[in-house]
Amino acid sequence: MRSRKICALPLFVLCSSLMLWPQALASPSAGQVRDLSSVRPADRIVASVANGQRVVLAGQRHPLAKPEFSIGRVAPDLHMERMVLVLAADPAQDAALEELIRAQHDPGSPYYHHWLTPAQFGRRFGVSQNDLDQVTTWLQGYGFDVEEVATSHRTLVFSGTAAQVEAAFHTSIRHYLVKGAVHYANASDPEIPRALAPVVRGVVALHDFRSAPTHVIAPQYTAANGAHFLMPQDWATIYDVGPLYAQGLDGTGQSIAVLGRVDVALSDVRTFRTNAGLPPNDPQMIINGPDPGFAWCDDELESAMDVEWAGAIAGNATIKFVTTKSGTSDGITISAQYAVNHNVAPIVSLSYGLCEVALGTAGQCLLEQHMGAGGGTGHVGVCIFRRQRRSGLRFSGAEDGDAGTPRERAVLESLQHLRRRDAVQRRI
């Protein structure tokens, strides 16, 4: 295994519902709850799509795409790959979804723990097929290749050139020199035809600024030669997990999806498990699209640690590493969408960080959809944890000191009231 320092233990992003939402249900008794299985989307694109009548999608320019950093326009033929267009449900769907989520967690409800498949979710809580077709036709009219329509009917993945992006969204794509690195990004908020506004929330990214790995060097134990180590047995002692292991709660029969954007070395994972006294258990590699390849960098270290420690704490769980090459959209974003739409595993581990401002309004909407709590804008319930650094948990973003999204902060505040063992029991 390559020589490297052992870094801080990653905590998990736990998708509590990737099994996903209510299957066919018996009709609830009259007077208990309304029939939530009959919810269906309505057509909301009712006017003709006139490109001359536009609305601005505010909050969708990266905060580091500043005029003073601009060094000129990109080439018109710059290929912009796998952009994500976020679509919004109507208020009635959102209200029904929120009601459904509450019912699914109410032991007295006939909907308790009845989950939908991604396709069932799309039929009930996505946009209508007619609206989806009109948005797709509009994109294709500018020459974009629509590569994927999410099963949830809430996102489209499309690719094209910078010239096509500029023509469709009425913004310019420029190069920016930021901290010694050259990026490209939209110089202004994008625009869309007014007729599409009831359905289209925005594009997650028209730029190549990425989320950041969040591992730090935080030695906990020191060997005689100065090397620092934290082993699974140490973790079990620190968090008092032994009684849970004694009950057979060791990951058997469970699966965990780990998200990445580069390949990881199986030899490293095997060496880690051997040194930790764990049984052989290779992760399953799921490459979404072109192989991103192996690069010895922070991304590989981040993903290797996530794979190793997910399989260390839940030693007998099946680890599924989902990796996607970054295009215009961050590979982590596309990996997350793949894991959700393909029902890869009931638990998803994600350790990359990005601040709320850098996400933009469309990125925040996509995150809300994946989290599926509070605002009721998604089908996967997610609890987001960050690594502990020095005095506490923090979120990483475009600038040091940025906090996470409001939902992340709310989750963090609630976690501060949980006892360690309770938190561990929820993870296991």
Is 48 among the domain residues? no
Is 28 among the domain residues? no
Average pLDDT across each block of 10 residues of the chain; the chain has 428 residues. List them in order. Answer: 36 36 38 73 93 93 94 96 92 89 88 85 92 96 94 92 97 96 95 96 92 61 65 85 89 90 91 89 93 80 88 91 88 86 84 73 71 38 39 37 43 36 36
Same domain, 303 and 234: yes
Same domain, 287 and 163: no
Is 73 among the domain residues? yes
Q: Which pLDDT does position 17 carry in this prediction? A: 36
d(CA 334, CA 363): 12
Same domain, 375 and 260: yes
When divided into structural domains, the chain yields a total of: 2
Q: Which pLDDT does position 75 carry in this prediction? A: 97
Q: Which pLDDT does position 298 carry in this prediction? A: 80
d(CA 184, CA 344): 32
Q: With contact defined as beta carbons under 8 Å apart, do 12 and 98 qualify? A: no
Q: Which pLDDT does position 296 carry in this prediction? A: 65
Cβ burial, residue 180 (10 Å; 0-12/13-18/19+): exposed
Q: Which pLDDT does position 235 carry in this prediction? A: 82
Same domain, 420 and 324: yes
d(CA 204, CA 221): 41
Q: Which pLDDT does position 419 carry in this prediction? A: 34
CB atoms within 10 A of CB 161: 19
Same domain, 195 and 293: no
Name every residue whose Cβ is closer than 8 Å to that of residue 255 and which is 6 or more positions away in sequence: 317, 318, 319, 320, 344, 345, 346, 347
Phi, psi at 222, each rounded to 5°: -125, 125
Range of the domain at 408: 14-19+212-218+230-427
Is 43 among the domain residues? no
Is 6 among the domain residues? no
Is 258 among the domain residues? yes
Same domain, 386 and 275: yes
Q: Which pLDDT does position 234 carry in this prediction? A: 82
Same domain, 240 and 379: yes
d(CA 402, CA 336): 22
d(CA 196, CA 45): 6
Residue position matching structure tokens 């992340």 = 408
DSSP H helices in 247-330: 266-275, 298-313
d(CA 353, CA 32): 42
168 in helix, strand or coil? Answer: helix
Q: What is the pTM of this model?
A: 0.72
Same domain, 246 and 114: no
Same domain, 263 and 135: no
Same domain, 138 and 259: no
Same domain, 333 and 409: yes
